Structure 1
Amino acid sequence: MNYPFLGAFVTLLWFCLFAVWMGLLFVVVSDIFRSHDLSGWGKAGWVVGTIVFPLVGVLCYMVLRGDGMSERSAEDRKQRATHYQGFSPSAVHSRAVADEVAKLAELRKQGEITQAEYEREKSRILA
């Protein structure tokens, strides 16, 4: 195998730099589309600028509009959290537990299970 260690290191370094660059480009383009204060033509201009002149376009975007990137990101995170708040597993689990306890209470009321069985099953469900 005719591949020196330094060559492997340089290849790995370029690969890592490319991955970081793609991540940065993804963040910038997603922020362009998330921005509500840009018009459609403004968004198109920034996207074309970042594609045609990648290094200059991304650096200009971060210098000129970088201060609002964190605000837009925090606003988007907060909006997503409010959307998913009703789908938390704890809310679903507590409803299921309450339904099971209600069924047990109904069975005890009808006389199909004893008080001791009711307490034992209730403690099992609540644990």
Structure 2
Amino acid sequence: MNWGSTWDFLWHFLIIFAWIAYLLVLFQILTDLFWRDHKTSGVVKAIWVVFLFLIPWFTALIYLIFRGQGMSVRAHEAAVAAKQQTDDYIKQAAGRSPAEEIAHAKELLDAGTITPGEYDSLKAKALA
């Protein structure tokens, strides 16, 4: 068995793994910088990008240490906003607005089809 080729294979595998891991981190950092972080100036963003390409691992590590907490907060806010947009779209695509639902429930209450308790339940459901 040729141990040299085995160790070469493992070394190359490790290098490829590290490269892919860096690319994942790089894309997360760039996404945070350019799509989520609206408070940082363009000059500071440009400096981060330059250093990310000049001294890649060190800069990524520094970015994650100093801006990692804010990065997770911004990612969470983006996820919540995306969920809210999806929910709003589903409600809009599903038909009536909450005001229309309440008006319909009021018509049913006035007609005697539902009880005041059922009306309150439908109203709360429409407003949720």
CA contact (8 A) 2:51 2:59 kept: yes
Residue 38 of structure 1: SS of its match in structure 2?
A: coil
Q: Give the distance between the partners of 1:51 and 1:84, measured in 2 at CA.
A: 36
With 75-84 and 3-12 compared, the bigger mean Cα shift is at: 3-12
- The partner residue of 1:57 within 56, 59, 83 is 59
How far off its partner does 1:46 sit?
1.3
The CA distance in 1 between the partners of 2:87 and 2:52, in whole Å, is: 35
Larger Cα-atom Rg: 1
Identical-pair percentage: 27
Supply the distance in 1 between the matched residues of 2:47 and 2:18 (Cα, whole angstroms).
26
Q: Distance in 1 between matches of 2:55 and 2:7?
A: 31
Instruction: Give structure 1 regions of 4+ aligned residues with deviation exceeding 4 angstroms.
Output: none
1:16 shift after superposition: 1.2
SS at match of 1:37: coil
Tell me, yes or no, if the aligned pair for 1:49 and 1:57 is still in contact at 8 Å. yes
Q: Which has the higher contact order (CA 8 A, sep 6+)?
A: 2
What are the superposed Cα offsets for residues 22-67 of structure 1, whole Å, 9 maximum, x if unpaired?
Answer: 1011111111122122111111121122122212221221222122
Matched residue, 1:72: 74
Instruction: Provide structure 1 residue ranges, at least 5 long, that are not aligned to the other structure.
Output: 96-127
Aligned match of 2:14: 13
**Structure 2 CA distance for aligned equivalents of residues 49 and 20 of structure 1:** 18
Give the length in aligned residue pairs: 92
Structure 2: give runs of 5+ residues left out of the alignment.
Answer: 96-128
Match of 1:42 in 2: 44
Distance 2:81 2:57 in 1: 31
RMSD between aligned residues: 2.5
Deviations 1:8-30 (A, max 9, x none): 22222211111111101111111
